[in-house]
């Protein structure tokens, strides 16, 4: 139904994996517009990720101020780049292409400041691996629909959802759930009357029962 409503074609994001990783770290708990502003500022202040790695944290942090908790993010960016340099000997992530999705996931989440959502985004969009990023929209909607238990962690949710979503649909599923979460199934006051999923939704059924009792 999501595909029928929103389509199955997802515009390809062709980003360097390190760019995608840093962009995603900047996006943590921040609106897209602020993320993009911080990323642009970073890319125009430094000519390479090696320069970012060499920059003092105090210099880096104000440049990404628009991304919210900029001091924490500056620390995470420096730590992730430093660990990649130590392990790989260069600021690139080509080695992930030769790993299976589970090993690639473990490798990325072992970097400081990189959680499963950030790692999944890098693997899905840069390496075309079928790993579903469980962001706030995916987590909320799949719980409301009853696809996963309401008290589940994001990490466990990802494993359960990966078992029921065909690999070929992961990218469009992620894209469409994010779109649905932004437009219809909002965190506060979801627009259930306009939602094409309402007959399948346990959150909506429970709300109707409460209203009629």
Q: Which residues of the shown chain bind ligand SF4 in the complex (CB under 6 A)? A: 141, 144-145, 184-185, 190-192, 195, 197-198, 201, 203-204
Q: How far apart are the first and last CA of the chain?
A: 30
Q: 176 and 186 in contact (C-beta within 8 Å)?
A: no
Q: How far is the CB of 205 from ligand SF4 (least distance, A)?
A: 9
Q: Among residues 171 and 180, whose Cβ is nearest to ligand SF4?
A: 180
Q: Among residues 1 and 9, whose Cβ is nearest to ligand SF4?
A: 1
Q: Cα(181)–Cα(92) distance, rounded to whole angstroms? A: 33
Q: Among residues 87 and 208, whose Cβ is nearest to ligand SF4?
A: 208
Q: How far is the CB of 177 from ligand SF4 (least distance, A)?
A: 10
Tokens encoding 182 = 């932004």
Q: Among residues 138 and 201, whose Cβ is nearest to ligand SF4?
A: 201
Q: Cα(54)–Cα(50) distance, rounded to whole angstroms? A: 6
Q: How far is the CB of 203 from ligand SF4 (least distance, A)?
A: 4
Q: Among residues 81 and 138, whose Cβ is nearest to ligand SF4?
A: 138
Q: 185 and 198 in contact (C-beta within 8 Å)?
A: no
Residues 6+ away with beta carbon under 8 Å from 47? none
Q: How far is the CB of 11 from ligand SF4 (least distance, A)?
A: 24
Q: How far is the CB of 133 from ligand SF4 (least distance, A)?
A: 19
> Would you tell me the crossing angle of helices 17-27 and 32-45 to the nearest 10 degrees?
130
Residues 6+ away with beta carbon under 8 Å from 62? 70
């Amino acid at each position: 139904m999501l595909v029928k409503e929103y389509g199955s074609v997802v515009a390809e994001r062709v980003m360097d994996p390190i760019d995608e990783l840093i962009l995603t770290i900047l996006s943590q708990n921040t609106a897209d517009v602020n993320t993009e502003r911080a990323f642009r500022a970073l890319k125009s202040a430094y000519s390479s990720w090696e320069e970012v790695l060499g920059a003092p944290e105090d210099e880096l942090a104000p440049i990404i101020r628009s991304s919210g908790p900029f001091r924490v993010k500056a620390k995470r960016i420096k730590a992730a780049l430093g660990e990649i340099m130590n392990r790989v000997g260069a600021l690139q992530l080509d080695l992930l292409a030769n790993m299976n999705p589970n090993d690639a996931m473990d490798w990325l989440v072992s970097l400081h400041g990189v959680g499963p959502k950030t790692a999944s985004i890098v693997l899905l969009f840069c390496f075309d691996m079928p790993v579903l990023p469980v962001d706030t929209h995916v987590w909320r909607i799949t719980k409301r629909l009853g696809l996963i238990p309401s008290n589940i962690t994001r990490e466990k949710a990802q494993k359960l959802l990966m078992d029921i979503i065909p690999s070929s649909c992961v990218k469009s599923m992620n894209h469409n759930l994010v779109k649905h979460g932004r437009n219809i199934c909002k965190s506060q006051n979801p627009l259930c009357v306009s939602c094409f999923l309402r007959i399948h939704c346990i959150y909506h059924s429970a709300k109707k029962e409460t209203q009629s009792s």
